[in-house]
Chains A and B, each alone.
Chain A
Amino acid sequence: MDEKDLLLLRLLEENSRLSSEELGLMAELSTEEAGRRITSLEENRIIRRYTTIIDWERAADGGVAAVIELKVNPERDFGYDRIAERLANFPEVRALRLITGVYDLQLVVTGKTMQEVARFVSESIAPMDRIRETATHIVMKTYKENGQCFYEREAGERIPYSF
């Protein structure tokens, strides 16, 4: 990893559809060199996946998201890992982190309706062994996701010429 690799990652994080040729031009590398570096970043699993950021509210899909916090009894030898990996297997769980503070694990869960999310938490998550307590927070509005602001910002007035 060097400066150029970091630049390539930053450019791809912002727009994963850029070609090796475009990336090479931007980062002052040949097309081949840019391609070789990206392959290597993929192979080293630094680039995990190429994806999109979707404003589902705008897509009018009407989904519901909830942030769920769990208190968990860790296991001897394994700590939180095994229970976390079991939780991560559910496709409803979009994000999962071990955190400091009152709770141990934090999940982002999505579903079609509030009922669906509630049922998932009460039927699939809460009864699992080692989970002592849950707190469910329904997402009311998303302002920013993965570094992208979802609200419209009024651009400041810019004059056409200045020196």
Chain B
Amino acid sequence: MRNFLSARAKAIPPSGIRKFFDLAVSMEGVISLGVGEPDFPTPWHICEASIYSIEQGGTSYTSNRGLLPLREALSVWLRQHYNLSYSADEEMIITTGVSEGLDIAVRAITDPGDEIIIAEPSYVSYSPCVTLAGGVPVPVQCREKDHFRVNPDSLMEKVTSRSKAVIINFPNNPTGAVMRKEHLSAIADIITDHDLLLISDEVYSELTYDGIHVSPASLDGMWERTITLNGFSKAYAMTGWRIGYFCAPPEICDAALKIHQYVMLCAPVMGQVAALEGLRRGEAEKDRMVQEYRVRRNIFVKGLNKIGLSCHLPEGAFYAFPSVEKSCLSDNEFAERLLTEEHVAVVPGSVLGRGGEDHCRCAYAVSRENLEEALTRIERFMHRI
């Protein structure tokens, strides 16, 4: 029989943590700091609104772009919160999570051989999405000395005549780094000068702990060359509902919509109804959760530094990204031994791209009790090795 697998599918590396995953599920009493999602259930009023809508028969397809009231509410919300101007009719698509938004963004703009620069360490799907679209992923490393922001000089070094776009994600998974206006302006200049496009994944935007999130498309000259991706998963504790949104100028939006309508048709209506309820009445619950993440961040990062795992204070998202250098283990060994010996699950930084080596990602979206217990176990581990 022939080998039916495509070269593109084969080119994607398998998950870097499969063995950790299998180990963790076979163990009792694991505290997982490996999960990139809120530990809170979705606020009840959001669930209630969606349940009611199902009871009323709200179980059909929506328009390809998504429910109009949701897009209209988002259009107003984005203007009020991030000074972004996207029309509900032509410049927005409701997607099945930001994951789908990223995929249709990359596919809408990538021709074979196009180089897509990816700020790393990063969420794991960027590079495979580019590969699947026939593009060439080009990592640009964000360094600890730069507070894990994109350094303009490093970005410049990666720009070639084949460069098409840059993918960034701030507040960042896995480092918790935030790029303020002045940092974004510096890279915006490069993007404009070299006629590149920016794909900005802002799914952690509401988890910005000091000051407010700056959306790159709100900077002068950037709106026309930016695809803004965001969603409800993190801020509203709605990961399982799979609702994101894609915003871009009409021409790009139309191209992405063609892909979206053929591969997804529309995002699930139950999730869209839930998202609208979150947007209309979810502010207080969202703020309460964000405040709690901030409290946990303070406890956890102080604890890590006390143990000797040096960690900068993350300004956003819910990840700490400590260096494991002091353990004299590689990040992979550290994560594996911490799991097998102390039953604490963390993600080794090297699976998250360049610049992740010698670090591990710890999600502090777990209860304070579990965070304290995890710190006790990590401290015991560090004393023993």
CB atoms of B36 and A160 under 8 A apart: no
A163 touches B25 (CB 8 A): no
Verify A163–B173 contact, CB threshold 8 A.
yes
| Chain B positions 240-267 with a Cβ under 8 Å from a chain A Cβ | none
Q: Say yes or no: is B132 at the interface (Cβ < 8 Å to chain A).
A: no
Instruction: Report B174 CB to chain A, min CB distance, Å.
Output: 8
Instruction: Check: A25 CB closer than 8 A to any chain B CB.
Output: yes
Query: A162 on the interface (CB 8 Å rule)?
Result: yes
Complex CA gap A27/B292 in Å reads 10
**Nearest B-chain residue to A26, judged by Cβ:** B295
Cα A25 to Cα B313 with chains together (Å): 13
Minimum distance in angstroms from B125 CB to a CB of chain A: 7
Whether A163 touches B295, Cβ cut-off 8 Å, given contacts A25-B302, A158-B32, A158-B35, is no
* In the complex, B51 has a CB within 8 A of chain A: no
Q: Quick check: A160 and B125 within 8 Å, CB to CB?
A: no
A7 within 8 A of B: yes
A11 at interface (Cβ–Cβ under 8 A)?
Answer: yes
Nearest CB on A from B371, distance (A): 11
Residues of A within 8 A of B21 (CB): 159-161
In the complex, A101 has a CB within 8 A of chain B: no
B237 to chain A, nearest CB (A): 11
Is B35 within 8 A of A160, CB to CB? yes
Q: Which residue of B lies closest to A10 (CB)?
A: B291
A33, CB-defined interface residue at 8 Å:
no
A91 interface residue (CB < 8 Å to B): no
In the complex, chain A residues whose CB is within 8 Å of the CB of B302? 25
Q: Which residues of A contact B30 (CB under 8 A)?
A: 160
**In A96-144, which residues have CB < 8 Å from any B CB?**
none
Q: Let me know if A28 is at the binding interface, CB within 8 A.
A: yes
* A160 and B298 contact, CB distance less than 8 A: no
Q: Is the CB of A163 within 8 A of B298?
A: no
The answer to whether the Cβ of B324 comes within 8 Å of any Cβ in the partner chain is no
Chain A contact residues, CB within 8 Å of chain B: 7, 10-11, 25-28, 156, 158-163
Known: A7-B291, A156-B41. A161 touches B299 (CB 8 A): no
At the interface, is chain B mostly helix, strand, loop or mixed? mixed
- Residues on B with C-beta less than 8 A from A7 are 291, 295
In the complex, what distance in Å separates the CA atom of A26 from the CA atom of B364? 13
Q: Does B124 contact A (CB under 8 A)?
A: yes
Nearest CB of A to B377, in Å: 15
Can you name the residue of chain B whose Cβ is closest to the Cβ of A161? B34
CB of B345 within 8 A of CB of A161, answer yes
Nearest A residue to B313, CB-CB: A28
Contact residues in A for B102 (Cβ distance below 8 Å): none
Give B332 Cβ to nearest chain A Cβ, in Å. 14
Contact A25 B298 (CB under 8 A): yes
Contacts of A159 in B (CB 8 A): 21, 35
Known contacts A26-B299, A27-B298; 12 additional CB pairs below 8 A are: A11-B295, A25-B298, A156-B41, A158-B32, A158-B39, A159-B21, A159-B35, A160-B345, A161-B21, A161-B34, A163-B123, A163-B124
- Neighbouring B residues of A158 by C-beta, 8 Å: 32, 35, 37, 39
Whether B41 pairs with A163 at a CB distance below 8 angstroms is no
Taking CB atoms, residues of chain B closer than 8 Å to A10 are: 291
In the complex, how many angstroms separate the beta carbon of A41 from the nearest chain B beta carbon?
Answer: 18
CA A14 to CA B347, docked complex, whole Å: 31
Q: Across the interface, do B37 and A162 meet the contact criterion of CB distance under 8 Å? A: yes
Whole-angstrom distance between the alpha carbons of A159 and B36 in the complex? 10
Q: Is the CB of A161 within 8 A of B37?
A: no
Contact residues in A for B219 (Cβ distance below 8 Å): none
10 tightest Cβ-Cβ pairs between the two chains A and B: A160-B24, A161-B34, A26-B295, A160-B32, A163-B124, A162-B36, A160-B345, A162-B35, A163-B36, A161-B21
Q: A162–B345 Cα gap in the complex (Å)?
A: 11
Q: Is B173 within 8 A of A160, CB to CB? A: no
B68 contacts the other chain (CB 8 A): no
Question: Is B20 close to A, CB under 8 A?
Answer: yes
B17 interface residue, CB < 8 Å from A? yes
* Cβ–Cβ < 8 Å partners of A162 in chain B: 34-37
Of B21, B30, B125, chain A has the most CB atoms within 10 Å of the CB of B21
Query: Does A161 contact B17, Cβ atoms closer than 8 Å?
Result: yes
B367 CB, min distance to chain A CBs, angstroms: 11
> What is the 8 Å Cβ interface bit string for chain B, positions 328-367, against chain A (1 contact, 0 not)?
0000000000000000010100001000000000000000
Contact B35 A28 (CB under 8 A): no
* A160 touching B347 in the complex, CB below 8 Å, given contacts A11-B295, A26-B295, A27-B295: no
Q: Judge whether B41 and A26 touch: CB under 8 Å.
A: no
Chain B residue at minimal CB-CB distance from A159: B35
Residues from chain B with a CB closer than 8 A to the CB of A27 are 295, 298
Query: When each residue 190-231 of chain B gets 1 if its CB lies under 8 Å from chain A and 0 otherwise, what string results?
Result: 000000000000000000000000000000000000000000
A156 closest partner in B (C-beta) = B41
Report A-chain residues with C-beta under 8 Å of the C-beta of B39.
Answer: 158
Residues of A within 8 A of B34 (CB): 160-162
Q: Pick 18 A–B contacts, CB within 8 A, sort by A.
A: A10-B291, A25-B298, A25-B302, A156-B41, A158-B37, A160-B20, A160-B21, A160-B24, A160-B25, A160-B30, A160-B32, A161-B21, A161-B35, A162-B35, A162-B36, A162-B37, A163-B36, A163-B123
